[in-house]
Amino acid sequence: MVGVLFVSRLARIHSHRHGKSHSTRPTSKRAPSWLTYSPEEVVALTIKLGKEGLTSSQIGTRLRDDYSIPLVKPVTGKSIAELLRENKLAPAIPEDLQNLLERAKRVQSHLEAYKSDRRNVRSLELIEAKIYRLSKHYKKIGLLPSTFKYAAVVAQLT
């Protein structure tokens, strides 16, 4: 029964597929013993990469690939986003919400060219639903201003 619950948690929200396309995270929540960087050095690297204009996911990838730091949180006790927020380098809109907004914009421009593409109208509805849920969450925890408003485009299409 436990396996069934675990698999169902990994399913995608709006489809019947189970997503497995991702890198495997380290199993331990502690910093690896072979890591040669101190927590202060990892924080300094994170801030340096943040000043270069990289997003938190890009910083994590760069730290993993170039510096062999598997995860920042076990080493420093804070996530990359928290470190960027403390040093006033975090973007105004969180990265995952920004990616959804960009995806919605791409689908909207596609639908302007292909007005009868009903599958992508549905896709835009699902993306906008995710935007609403995520923005509501970020307003609740204070990462977005309470005045943030996303204007739906789907209503204009029908």
Q: What is the predicted pLDDT for the residue at 154? A: 63
The token duo for 112 is: 């302007």
Final residue of a structural domain among 44, 64, 90: 90
Spans in the chain with pLDDT lower than 50: 1-10, 158
Q: Which two tokens stand for residue 99?
A: 């990616």
- What's the number of domains the chain is made of? 2
Please indicate, yes or no, if residue 8 is contained in any of the structural domains.
Answer: no
Give the residue numbers spanning the domain of 151: 95-157
Phi, psi of 73 (to 5 degrees): -60, -45
Residue 29's pLDDT is: 85
pLDDT of residue 11: 57
Question: What pLDDT sits at residue 8?
Answer: 42
Residues 101 and 77 in one domain: no
pTM score, whole prediction:
0.80
